[in-house]
Homo-oligomer: A and B are copies of this chain.
Amino acid sequence: MATKVREQAAEAAAPSKNGSSLISDEKLKQLYSTMVKCRVLEERIRILKKQARFKGNYYAAVGQEATEVGTTIDLRDEDTIAPSHRDFIANYIKGVPLNAMLSQIYMRSTSPDKGRSSPAHCGYAPLNIITPASTIAAQLNIGTGVALANKMKKNDNVVVAFSGEGSTSLGFWHEALNFAGVQQLPIVYICQNNLWAESVNVKLQTRVEDISTKAQGYGFPGITVDGNDVVAVYRVAQEAIQRARSGGGPTLIECKTYRWYGHSEIDPAKYRQPEEVEEWKAKDPIAAMERYLTGKRLFTPEYKQQIIDEFNPQLDAAIDFAEKAPLPEPIEALDHVYSFDIRDRELHRTAYHPKY
Protein backbone atom coordinates (compact mmCIF):
# COMPACT_ATOMS: atom_id res chain seq x y z
CA MET A 1 0.00 0.00 0.00
CA ALA A 2 1.32 3.39 -1.01
CA THR A 3 2.87 5.44 1.70
CA LYS A 4 3.20 9.19 1.41
CA VAL A 5 6.42 10.46 2.84
CA ARG A 6 6.41 14.21 2.47
CA GLU A 7 3.74 16.86 2.38
CA GLN A 8 4.67 20.46 1.76
CA ALA A 9 3.10 23.23 3.77
CA ALA A 10 1.91 25.00 0.63
CA GLU A 11 0.30 21.87 -0.73
CA ALA A 12 -1.22 21.20 2.63
CA ALA A 13 -2.72 24.66 2.83
CA ALA A 14 -4.31 24.27 -0.56
CA PRO A 15 -7.65 22.46 -0.93
CA SER A 16 -6.82 18.86 -0.08
CA LYS A 17 -7.35 15.92 -2.37
CA ASN A 18 -10.21 14.57 -0.30
CA GLY A 19 -12.02 17.63 -1.61
CA SER A 20 -12.36 19.31 1.77
CA SER A 21 -12.77 23.05 1.39
CA LEU A 22 -10.21 25.75 2.14
CA ILE A 23 -9.76 26.61 5.79
CA SER A 24 -12.07 29.44 6.88
CA ASP A 25 -10.69 32.77 8.06
CA GLU A 26 -12.26 32.13 11.45
CA LYS A 27 -10.41 28.84 11.76
CA LEU A 28 -7.15 30.45 10.66
CA LYS A 29 -7.54 33.08 13.35
CA GLN A 30 -8.46 30.45 15.91
CA LEU A 31 -5.34 28.46 15.07
CA TYR A 32 -3.28 31.59 15.55
CA SER A 33 -4.90 32.88 18.72
CA THR A 34 -4.69 29.45 20.35
CA MET A 35 -0.97 29.26 19.62
CA VAL A 36 -0.50 32.68 21.17
CA LYS A 37 -2.35 31.69 24.32
CA CYS A 38 -0.32 28.48 24.61
CA ARG A 39 2.87 30.50 24.31
CA VAL A 40 1.75 32.96 26.96
CA LEU A 41 0.70 30.10 29.23
CA GLU A 42 4.01 28.25 29.05
CA GLU A 43 6.21 31.34 29.26
CA ARG A 44 4.30 32.24 32.42
CA ILE A 45 4.75 28.79 33.86
CA ARG A 46 8.47 29.09 33.20
CA ILE A 47 8.54 32.37 35.13
CA LEU A 48 6.61 30.82 38.02
CA LYS A 49 9.19 28.02 38.03
CA LYS A 50 12.10 30.47 38.09
CA GLN A 51 10.35 32.22 40.97
CA ALA A 52 10.18 28.80 42.66
CA ARG A 53 6.46 29.26 43.13
CA PHE A 54 5.82 25.60 42.42
CA LYS A 55 7.85 22.45 43.13
CA GLY A 56 8.67 19.82 40.56
CA ASN A 57 9.85 20.12 37.00
CA TYR A 58 8.27 21.40 33.78
CA TYR A 59 8.83 20.49 30.12
CA ALA A 60 7.95 23.42 27.87
CA ALA A 61 6.76 22.92 24.28
CA VAL A 62 7.56 26.53 23.40
CA GLY A 63 8.40 26.51 19.68
CA GLN A 64 6.17 23.48 19.06
CA GLU A 65 2.79 25.23 19.37
CA ALA A 66 1.84 24.73 15.74
CA THR A 67 2.00 20.97 16.20
CA GLU A 68 0.01 20.93 19.41
CA VAL A 69 -2.66 23.31 18.11
CA GLY A 70 -2.93 22.02 14.54
CA THR A 71 -3.49 18.43 15.69
CA THR A 72 -5.73 18.95 18.71
CA ILE A 73 -7.90 21.96 18.03
CA ASP A 74 -10.83 20.37 16.23
CA LEU A 75 -11.14 17.20 18.30
CA ARG A 76 -14.45 16.32 19.91
CA ASP A 77 -14.85 15.81 23.63
CA GLU A 78 -15.37 12.09 22.94
CA ASP A 79 -12.07 11.86 21.09
CA THR A 80 -9.15 10.78 23.22
CA ILE A 81 -5.71 12.31 23.38
CA ALA A 82 -2.66 10.58 24.80
CA PRO A 83 -0.17 13.29 25.76
CA SER A 84 3.46 12.91 26.80
CA HIS A 85 5.43 15.02 29.28
CA ARG A 86 5.84 17.59 26.49
CA ASP A 87 2.16 18.11 25.74
CA PHE A 88 0.78 19.96 28.74
CA ILE A 89 -0.72 22.62 26.46
CA ALA A 90 -2.66 19.99 24.49
CA ASN A 91 -4.87 19.89 27.59
CA TYR A 92 -5.66 23.59 27.17
CA ILE A 93 -6.33 23.22 23.47
CA LYS A 94 -8.77 20.36 24.08
CA GLY A 95 -10.60 22.52 26.60
CA VAL A 96 -9.37 21.72 30.09
CA PRO A 97 -10.18 24.60 32.48
CA LEU A 98 -7.16 26.71 33.42
CA ASN A 99 -7.93 26.26 37.11
CA ALA A 100 -7.48 22.51 36.75
CA MET A 101 -4.28 22.92 34.72
CA LEU A 102 -2.67 25.38 37.10
CA SER A 103 -3.70 23.21 40.04
CA GLN A 104 -1.74 20.46 38.31
CA ILE A 105 1.29 22.73 38.07
CA TYR A 106 0.99 23.49 41.77
CA MET A 107 0.13 19.86 42.67
CA ARG A 108 -2.87 20.96 44.68
CA SER A 109 -5.81 18.88 45.88
CA THR A 110 -7.83 20.65 43.16
CA SER A 111 -5.72 19.15 40.36
CA PRO A 112 -7.31 16.45 38.18
CA ASP A 113 -5.08 13.88 39.88
CA LYS A 114 -5.27 15.36 43.40
CA GLY A 115 -1.57 16.14 43.48
CA ARG A 116 -0.09 12.80 42.59
CA SER A 117 1.62 13.30 39.22
CA SER A 118 4.33 15.82 38.40
CA PRO A 119 3.32 19.29 37.15
CA ALA A 120 3.59 18.65 33.41
CA HIS A 121 1.89 15.24 33.49
CA CYS A 122 -1.68 16.40 33.11
CA GLY A 123 -4.69 14.31 32.21
CA TYR A 124 -8.41 15.04 32.38
CA ALA A 125 -11.00 12.28 32.40
CA PRO A 126 -14.03 14.44 31.45
CA LEU A 127 -12.39 15.27 28.12
CA ASN A 128 -10.78 11.85 27.60
CA ILE A 129 -7.23 12.97 28.14
CA ILE A 130 -5.11 10.09 29.42
CA THR A 131 -3.09 10.99 32.50
CA PRO A 132 0.45 10.25 31.31
CA ALA A 133 3.04 8.19 33.10
CA SER A 134 6.58 9.46 32.63
CA THR A 135 7.39 6.20 30.87
CA ILE A 136 8.19 7.31 27.36
CA ALA A 137 5.78 6.04 24.68
CA ALA A 138 3.56 4.22 27.19
CA GLN A 139 0.70 6.61 26.40
CA LEU A 140 0.77 5.43 22.77
CA ASN A 141 0.06 1.86 23.78
CA ILE A 142 -2.79 2.78 26.09
CA GLY A 143 -4.16 5.14 23.46
CA THR A 144 -4.01 2.30 20.96
CA GLY A 145 -6.18 0.28 23.33
CA VAL A 146 -8.71 3.09 23.50
CA ALA A 147 -8.77 3.07 19.68
CA LEU A 148 -9.39 -0.67 19.78
CA ALA A 149 -12.37 -0.07 22.07
CA ASN A 150 -13.74 2.65 19.77
CA LYS A 151 -13.48 0.25 16.85
CA MET A 152 -15.21 -2.52 18.78
CA LYS A 153 -17.94 -0.13 19.92
CA LYS A 154 -18.36 0.90 16.27
CA ASN A 155 -18.38 4.62 17.12
CA ASP A 156 -16.44 7.19 15.11
CA ASN A 157 -14.29 8.61 17.87
CA VAL A 158 -10.58 8.87 17.23
CA VAL A 159 -7.45 8.87 19.33
CA VAL A 160 -4.57 11.30 18.85
CA ALA A 161 -1.39 10.01 20.50
CA PHE A 162 1.70 12.15 20.98
CA SER A 163 5.32 11.16 21.19
CA GLY A 164 8.72 12.60 20.44
CA GLU A 165 11.28 11.28 17.99
CA GLY A 166 13.26 9.76 20.84
CA SER A 167 10.27 7.65 21.75
CA THR A 168 10.44 5.86 18.42
CA SER A 169 13.44 3.85 19.62
CA LEU A 170 11.43 2.04 22.27
CA GLY A 171 9.83 -1.35 21.78
CA PHE A 172 6.57 0.08 23.11
CA TRP A 173 6.34 2.43 20.15
CA HIS A 174 6.78 -0.45 17.70
CA GLU A 175 4.27 -2.76 19.36
CA ALA A 176 1.65 -0.01 19.36
CA LEU A 177 2.02 1.01 15.72
CA ASN A 178 2.29 -2.56 14.49
CA PHE A 179 -0.89 -3.56 16.30
CA ALA A 180 -2.75 -0.47 15.06
CA GLY A 181 -1.74 -1.41 11.52
CA VAL A 182 -2.93 -5.00 11.82
CA GLN A 183 -6.23 -3.91 13.39
CA GLN A 184 -6.60 -0.78 11.23
CA LEU A 185 -7.43 1.26 14.31
CA PRO A 186 -8.86 4.79 14.35
CA ILE A 187 -5.77 6.50 15.72
CA VAL A 188 -3.36 9.21 14.61
CA TYR A 189 0.21 9.07 15.90
CA ILE A 190 1.79 12.50 16.13
CA CYS A 191 5.58 12.33 16.35
CA GLN A 192 7.05 15.69 17.26
CA ASN A 193 10.56 15.42 15.89
CA ASN A 194 12.27 18.27 17.73
CA LEU A 195 15.72 16.82 16.97
CA TRP A 196 16.61 16.16 20.60
CA ALA A 197 15.73 13.63 23.27
CA GLU A 198 17.19 15.30 26.30
CA SER A 199 20.84 15.58 25.17
CA VAL A 200 20.65 12.93 22.45
CA ASN A 201 20.42 14.01 18.83
CA VAL A 202 17.99 12.28 16.48
CA LYS A 203 20.97 10.96 14.51
CA LEU A 204 21.68 8.70 17.48
CA GLN A 205 18.06 7.55 17.69
CA THR A 206 17.56 6.37 14.16
CA ARG A 207 19.39 6.01 10.88
CA VAL A 208 16.45 7.33 8.85
CA GLU A 209 16.01 10.91 7.69
CA ASP A 210 12.26 11.06 8.21
CA ILE A 211 10.52 9.36 11.13
CA SER A 212 7.47 9.04 8.87
CA THR A 213 9.37 6.44 6.84
CA LYS A 214 8.84 4.06 9.74
CA ALA A 215 5.13 3.84 8.91
CA GLN A 216 6.10 1.76 5.88
CA GLY A 217 6.96 -1.07 8.23
CA TYR A 218 3.42 -0.98 9.61
CA GLY A 219 1.46 -0.72 6.41
CA PHE A 220 -0.22 2.64 6.90
CA PRO A 221 0.49 6.17 5.69
CA GLY A 222 3.35 8.16 7.16
CA ILE A 223 3.59 11.85 6.49
CA THR A 224 6.28 14.38 7.30
CA VAL A 225 5.09 17.92 7.68
CA ASP A 226 6.64 21.23 8.66
CA GLY A 227 5.75 21.24 12.34
CA ASN A 228 6.10 24.99 12.54
CA ASP A 229 3.45 25.61 9.89
CA VAL A 230 0.18 25.40 11.76
CA VAL A 231 -1.88 25.43 8.57
CA ALA A 232 0.06 22.53 7.12
CA VAL A 233 -0.17 20.60 10.35
CA TYR A 234 -3.88 21.31 10.65
CA ARG A 235 -4.58 20.18 7.10
CA VAL A 236 -2.55 17.01 7.38
CA ALA A 237 -4.02 16.20 10.79
CA GLN A 238 -7.57 16.79 9.56
CA GLU A 239 -7.04 14.39 6.68
CA ALA A 240 -5.63 11.74 8.99
CA ILE A 241 -8.40 12.24 11.57
CA GLN A 242 -11.00 12.03 8.80
CA ARG A 243 -9.44 8.83 7.52
CA ALA A 244 -9.46 7.40 11.03
CA ARG A 245 -13.07 8.39 11.70
CA SER A 246 -14.23 6.81 8.48
CA GLY A 247 -12.51 3.49 9.16
CA GLY A 248 -9.46 4.17 7.02
CA GLY A 249 -7.04 3.20 9.75
CA PRO A 250 -4.04 4.83 11.42
CA THR A 251 -1.64 7.49 10.23
CA LEU A 252 1.79 8.49 11.47
CA ILE A 253 2.44 12.21 11.18
CA GLU A 254 5.96 13.44 11.75
CA CYS A 255 6.08 17.11 12.62
CA LYS A 256 9.54 18.56 12.22
CA THR A 257 9.86 21.17 14.91
CA TYR A 258 12.07 22.33 17.76
CA ARG A 259 11.90 23.03 21.46
CA TRP A 260 13.32 26.46 22.16
CA TYR A 261 14.46 25.72 25.68
CA GLY A 262 16.07 22.88 27.58
CA HIS A 263 14.51 19.47 27.92
CA SER A 264 13.11 20.73 31.21
CA GLU A 265 13.45 23.86 33.29
CA ILE A 266 16.59 22.50 34.94
CA ASP A 267 18.36 21.73 31.64
CA PRO A 268 20.71 24.46 30.30
CA ALA A 269 20.86 22.46 27.02
CA LYS A 270 24.59 23.01 26.60
CA TYR A 271 24.62 20.13 24.11
CA ARG A 272 23.05 22.31 21.40
CA GLN A 273 24.75 24.90 19.20
CA PRO A 274 23.49 28.46 19.71
CA GLU A 275 23.28 28.77 15.91
CA GLU A 276 20.86 25.85 15.77
CA VAL A 277 18.65 27.45 18.39
CA GLU A 278 18.70 30.81 16.62
CA GLU A 279 17.94 29.21 13.27
CA TRP A 280 14.87 27.57 14.71
CA LYS A 281 13.71 30.58 16.67
CA ALA A 282 13.71 32.36 13.31
CA LYS A 283 11.16 29.72 12.26
CA ASP A 284 8.85 30.67 15.11
CA PRO A 285 5.46 29.13 14.23
CA ILE A 286 3.64 32.13 15.65
CA ALA A 287 5.61 34.69 13.64
CA ALA A 288 5.17 32.51 10.55
CA MET A 289 1.43 32.45 11.03
CA GLU A 290 1.42 36.20 11.52
CA ARG A 291 3.04 36.61 8.12
CA TYR A 292 0.54 34.21 6.60
CA LEU A 293 -2.41 36.05 8.16
CA THR A 294 -0.98 39.43 7.21
CA GLY A 295 -0.95 38.26 3.60
CA LYS A 296 -4.63 37.49 4.02
CA ARG A 297 -5.26 40.80 5.75
CA LEU A 298 -6.28 38.94 8.89
CA PHE A 299 -3.54 40.14 11.20
CA THR A 300 -2.70 43.35 13.03
CA PRO A 301 -0.48 43.91 16.09
CA GLU A 302 -3.56 45.17 17.89
CA TYR A 303 -5.31 41.90 17.24
CA LYS A 304 -2.42 40.03 18.87
CA GLN A 305 -2.36 42.40 21.83
CA GLN A 306 -6.07 41.91 22.27
CA ILE A 307 -5.66 38.12 22.44
CA ILE A 308 -2.96 38.49 25.08
CA ASP A 309 -4.86 41.08 27.05
CA GLU A 310 -7.94 38.88 27.14
CA PHE A 311 -5.98 35.81 28.13
CA ASN A 312 -3.71 37.19 30.84
CA PRO A 313 -6.48 37.98 33.35
CA GLN A 314 -7.84 34.44 32.95
CA LEU A 315 -4.34 33.12 33.56
CA ASP A 316 -3.81 35.38 36.58
CA ALA A 317 -7.08 34.16 38.04
CA ALA A 318 -6.12 30.53 37.51
CA ILE A 319 -2.71 31.04 39.12
CA ASP A 320 -4.39 32.77 42.02
CA PHE A 321 -6.89 29.93 42.30
CA ALA A 322 -4.12 27.34 42.31
CA GLU A 323 -1.93 29.16 44.79
CA LYS A 324 -4.86 29.51 47.17
CA ALA A 325 -6.03 25.94 46.67
CA PRO A 326 -5.19 23.54 49.49
CA LEU A 327 -2.49 20.92 49.21
CA PRO A 328 -3.73 17.34 49.58
CA GLU A 329 -4.04 15.98 53.12
CA PRO A 330 -1.06 13.70 53.90
CA ILE A 331 -3.37 10.76 54.56
CA GLU A 332 -4.70 10.98 50.99
CA ALA A 333 -1.48 9.23 49.94
CA LEU A 334 -3.39 6.07 50.86
CA ASP A 335 -6.30 6.73 48.52
CA HIS A 336 -7.11 5.51 45.00
CA VAL A 337 -4.93 2.42 45.19
CA TYR A 338 -7.87 0.12 44.51
CA SER A 339 -11.60 0.53 43.95
CA PHE A 340 -11.90 -0.13 47.70
CA ASP A 341 -10.42 1.83 50.58
CA ILE A 342 -7.19 0.69 52.27
CA ARG A 343 -6.72 3.44 54.86
CA ASP A 344 -7.72 1.24 57.78
CA ARG A 345 -5.55 -1.65 56.79
CA GLU A 346 -2.53 0.54 56.18
CA LEU A 347 -2.91 2.57 59.34
CA HIS A 348 -3.16 -0.48 61.57
CA ARG A 349 -1.12 -3.19 59.92
CA THR A 350 2.19 -2.22 61.50
CA ALA A 351 0.68 -2.28 64.98
CA TYR A 352 1.45 -5.41 66.95
CA HIS A 353 -1.71 -7.17 68.10
CA PRO A 354 -1.25 -8.79 71.53
CA LYS A 355 -4.70 -10.34 71.08
CA TYR A 356 -2.88 -13.31 69.59
Q: Does A91 contact B (CB under 8 A)?
A: no
Q: Does A153 contact B (CB under 8 A)?
A: no
Q: Does A174 contact B (CB under 8 A)?
A: yes
- The smallest C-beta distance from A147 to any residue of chain B, in angstroms, reads 15
- Does A181 contact B169, Cβ atoms closer than 8 Å? no
B residues near A314, Cβ cutoff 8 Å: none
Per a CB cutoff under 8 Å, which of B171, B178, B207 touches A220? B207
Q: Does A218 contact B (CB under 8 A)?
A: yes
B residues near A168, Cβ cutoff 8 Å: 178
Q: Complex: how many Å from CA A178 to CA B214?
A: 11
Q: Does A285 contact B (CB under 8 A)?
A: no
Q: Does A173 contact B (CB under 8 A)?
A: yes
B residues near A57, Cβ cutoff 8 Å: none
B residues near A184, Cβ cutoff 8 Å: 207
Would you list which residues of chain A between 53 and 81 have a CB under 8 Å from chain B?
none
Bitwise interface map of A from 187 to 206 toward B, beta carbon under 8 Å scored 1, else 0: 00000000000000001111
Would you list which residues of chain A between 170 and 184 have a CB under 8 Å from chain B?
170-175, 178-179, 181-182, 184
- The smallest C-beta distance from A191 to any residue of chain B, in angstroms, reads 12
B residues near A174, Cβ cutoff 8 Å: 171, 173-175
Which 10 pairs across A and B sit closest by C-beta, in order of nearness? A171-B171, A207-B219, A174-B174, A214-B217, A181-B207, A217-B217, A208-B219, A216-B216, A171-B175, A171-B174
- Does B170 contact A182, Cβ atoms closer than 8 Å? no
